[in-house]
Amino acid sequence: MNAERLQKQLNFILEIDKEKTIVRQNHLTGMVRSENDAEHAWHMAIMIYLLREYANEEFDLAKAMIMALIHDIVEIDAGDTYAYDPEAGKTQKEREDKAARRIFGLLPEEQKEDLHALFNEFEEGKSPEARFARAMDNFQPFLLNNHNDGADWKAHNVRKSQVIRRQERSKAGSELIWDYTKKLIEENTKKGNLIDE
- pLDDT tens per residue across span 135-166: 999 999 999 999 999 999 999 999 999 999 99
pLDDT-derived band at 197 (thresholds 50, 70, 90) equals confident
- pLDDT tens per residue across span 32-70: 899 999 999 999 999 999 999 999 999 999 999 999 999
- Is the pLDDT assigned to residue 83 strictly greater than 80? no
What rounded mean pLDDT belongs to the chain?
A: 94
70: nearest Cα among 33, 99, 110? 99
Q: Any residues with CB less than 8 A from the CB of 155 and at least 6 apart, and which?
A: none
Q: How many CB atoms neighbour CB 184 within 10 A?
A: 17
Q: Any residues with CB less than 8 A from the CB of 137 and at least 6 apart, and which?
A: 44, 68, 71
Q: What's the pTM?
A: 0.94
